[in-house]
Structure formats: C-alpha cells, structure tokens
Amino acid sequence: MLGKILPLNIFNVIDKKIDFSRLNELRLRSNQPVTVFLNGQPYYLGEKGLTSNISKAIICKKEDIEDVVFRASGCSIYSVNEQIKRGFIVVEGGIRIGICGDVVIEKDEIKTISNYTSLNIRIPHEIKNCSLSAFSAIVDEFGVKNTLVISPPSCGKTTFIRDFVFQLSENNFCLNVLVLDERGEIFGGGQMNLGKFCDVLSYSTKKLGFIQGIRTMAPNLIVADELGGEDDLNAIKNAFNCGVNIMATVHASSVTELRAKNEFKELLNSKCFSRFVVLSSRQGPGTLEGVYNENLTRIASWS
Amino acid sequence: MKLFLILFLVFLCGYVGYGLSSYYKNRRIFFEEFISLIENVNLDINFSREKIAQILKSQKINSRALKKIINNFIAVLETRELECEKLFEGVKLLKDDEKFLIFSFFRSLGKFDVELQSLQLSQFKEKFLNSLQVCSSEEKKYSPILLKLAIMVGALLGLIFI
C-alpha cells in the first residue's frame, strides 16, 4: 500500500533498504528531512537508507505531502473529508496518516484541513501473542475483566488489544466481541485477523458506536481504542450500566499519570475498571510494564 | 449502366459528405454527454461519495472520444502524473482550447471537499454549456451544407464522366 501513496524516491528507499517489519512510523514535514521510526528509534531517511547525517537525508517537498494525501484518499479528497476533519486518513492495511495543516473552521466546526504541512504515517503490525503474558491476569472463568490499557503514544496499545481479541478466539472463549474501530486501525479494513467471534464497527464515534453496538450486536465485550473527552467517558459509563464488559486504551505513561487526569477520577473511584495494563517502549514498543488491579496495585510485572 | 454510374458517384460522394458532417455531430454529442457526465459526477460525489475512478467507471457513455478520455484518465490515475498528451491519446475530435478546458476539469477532480468540488463542477458545467452551444451552431451551419455539397459534387462528376 505504501507504494501507492508515497513519493517514489521515498518508497524506493523504504522498499529496498529498510526492514519493513521494524518500521513503525514515517514523518513527512514540508521542506524538512524525512524521518522514520524503526522499533521506536528515529532515523533520517537518506537516498541510501537510514542515516543520522541530516545533510544526506531526503528533503520532503510540500507537493510530496499534498500528493500523499491525494493518493491516500484514492484520488478523491471529498470521500475522506470526514476523516480529514478529525485529522487523519486511514488507508488499506490500517495505515493511519495523521495530517497537519491549516484547519478551516466555519460556524465553530472544522470544515476541513487544507494547505497540508506535515504527515505522520503510522504502520500497524500484527504481533501475534504480544498480549499473552497479560492474558491470564485479564481473563478468568467468568470472562474478560474490564480493562484499561495505558501507554504513551506509539507504545503498542492498538497492537495489544488487536492481539488480545484474536487470542480470545484462539483460546476458545466464545464471547461476542464488538470492536469499535473509530480510526479503522484495529481491523485495518479487514486485513487484520481478529478471530472468529469478533464484530467490527468501523469509523463510528464512541458515543454513537457504543449505543448502536449494544443495541444491535448484543456484545459480551466491547473493545475501543484511545479514550479521551467527556463523550467517550460517558459512553463507557453507559455501557457499564448495560452489563457489557469493556477493554479500552488511554494515553498515559503510568497509573499515577492516569490518576492525575481529572476526567478519569470518577471512573477510577467507581472502580469500574478492574485491570490496568501498562505498556511502554522501554525495550521497544509493546514492552509490558505491569498489570494493576482496581486499587491500582501492581499484580503482575515483567522487568 | 451510365445511370448506375451516376447514382454510384452521388452515393459515394454523399457518403463522404455524411462522414465529414458527422464530425460536427460527434462533437455535439461529445459535449452533451460531457455535461451529463458532470451532472452525474456531481450527484455521486454528493450522495455516494464513491472514489472518482469508481464513479467514472459506472457512467454509461456513447461518445467514443469521451469514453477514450475517461479510460485514459483512469489509467493515468494509477500512475503519477496527469499529462495532457496522455489524457487525449487517440482523441482527434477536439480543438486545443477545448482540450485545455477538459484537462483542467480532470485535473481538478478529487482535489477538494464535497462543497468545493460541487461548486467547481457547476462552474465547469457552465463553461461546457458554452462549448455545446458553439458546437450545436457549427453543426447546424456546416452539416447540411457539407452533405448537400458532396451530393452535388457527386452529381457533377457523374455528368462530367458521361
């Protein structure tokens, strides 16, 4: 897919000189060197491969950025404008392209983003069994405990929940799992294997997705990525009141940082979530730092 | 035999005349279909929001030249650069200024959000309506003359040969 959207000079280097399985992220900024992240480590991208020498790096032109967005939209910007309004486009394979530029606002609403200046292209990877170490701490004979996966950005939260859903099915937990794939990253437009018992609601907001999903799919477990904002938390609270279990992710580097977030205080005090999985990129993205219980006491760690 | 020869010459020249006059007819049909293409694309962009290649592929078009241009455009979409020569490869029906207008139309496709794209399509439609008007009046003016002239030439040749 990258071949269809990237400028040829950049794609040729990635294709021939870089181990794609280690590539997490690609950053294109107008008139700046192209930066790639391999296993969480940043490098410049030069004509001959990775380099730490900025003078040898490929410089990204503004037209390149515009071309990437145009190609990522299937040569039809209008068809992805709802995504662009939210700051990203997701293309085949769950590759998410974050977009920066001029935000056009009309009547207090984002109308579109124009004059693109930088892109963050995130490459998802299926890492089989990456959730297995924490699996037994999250699942028991009664089902899946309400779990919040915590980590800073790019530390493997999405990869973790994707594998967890797959493992449920692999281990024959016949639970109806509903994945609310707001950005299309978890399911990757059908390219990621989520197992036999999984239903996916793509590109819906959590507010609408939780209501619709509970009404129509009768799930035992709802999995959602990146909680944030009052709407998301209200949707979660409503789901708890419907007797549905939830696994979600949130940006924070530790349980202490999570505790400091005002909007989460009520949820933490009510002890709705009984497991907290903390990930980091200490030994590469997806490093399991620990599993905590509802009292935020560590019950398992890997160091 | 002589009568048959005269009839044959009249028919032959008439056929050539019809061929020459159909150039104007084809141009009119081209612009008529182009305008209805713009209308359909506008509708599809507003309602289905399908990708532009899908929208264009689903259009029913009779004009051979327009079909060719659309196929060229879809093929060019897969590659990197939209070039005028590639877009009009195998198309001889159009004048240079018309080619430029059509090229601008295709170059703008898919570049904007729904609202702007729709506005742009409406503006292009206005321009193509002007082209259609010119083509229609050219057809009315030259088509019958060419046909009549060709038949007369055929008859004249016949008389000369006899």
> Residue A149: pLDDT band by 50, 70, 90 thresholds?
very high
How far apart, in whole angstroms, are the C-alpha atoms of residue A31 and residue A47?
16
Chain A residue with CA closest to B109: the answer is A76
Q: Can you give the pLDDT at residue A35? A: 96
Whether residue A141 has pLDDT greater than 90: no
* Distance from C-alpha of A173 to C-alpha of A70, rounded to nearest angstrom: 42
Domain ranges of chain A: 2-122, 132-300
Predicted local distance difference test score (pLDDT) of residue A115: 93
Predicted confidence at residue B80, as pLDDT, reads 67
> What confidence tens digit (pLDDT) does each residue in B66-121 have?
999 999 999 888 776 778 888 898 888 889 999 999 999 999 999 999 999 999 99
Relative to beta strand A198-202, strand A221-224 is unpaired
Q: Which amino acid is at A2?
A: L
Assigned CATH class of A2-122: alpha beta
Strand partners, A288: A279
Q: Which residues pair with residue A278 across a beta bridge?
A: A150, A290
pLDDT of residue A178: 94
CB distance from A76 to chain B under 8 Å? yes
pLDDT value for A241: 87
- Helix or strand (DSSP H, E) at A35: strand A35-38
Answer whether B114 sits within 8 Å of A73, measured CB to CB. Answer: no
Q: What pLDDT sits at residue A303?
A: 60
pLDDT band at A98 (very low <50, low <70, confident <90, very high): very high
Res A249: pLDDT: 95
Nearest one of A270, A273, A220 to A250, comparing CA atoms: A273
pLDDT in the model for residue B20 = 80
Residue B33 confidence (pLDDT) above 70: yes
Q: pLDDT tens, B37-80?
A: 999 999 999 998 899 999 999 999 999 999 999 999 998 887 76
Kindly list the domain boundaries of chain B, sorted by start residue: 2-161
Query: A8-38: buried (b, 16+ CB within 10 Å) or exposed (e) per residue?
Result: eebeebbeeebeeeebbbbbbbbeebbbbbb
More confident residue, B145 or B132: B132
Contact A10, A34 (CB under 8 A): yes
Judged against a pLDDT cut of 80, whether residue A301 lies above it is answered with: no
Which of A74, A84, A111 is closest, CB to CB, to B51? A74
**Mean confidence (pLDDT) of chain A:** 91
Question: B60 φ, ψ to 5°?
Answer: -95, 115
Q: What is the mean pLDDT of residues A147-159?
A: 92
Residue B35 has pLDDT above 90, yes or no: yes
Helices (H), A139-224: 157-170, 206-217
Rounded to 10°, the helix B64-78/B2-47 angle is: 40
Pick from A6, A76, A77, A82 the residue to mutate for testing the B interface (most B CBs within 10 Å): A76
Let me know if the fold of A2-122 is the same as that of A132-300: no
Q: What is the CATH number of domain A132-300?
A: 3.40.50.300
Interface test with A, best of B43, B80, B113 (most A CBs within 10 A): B113
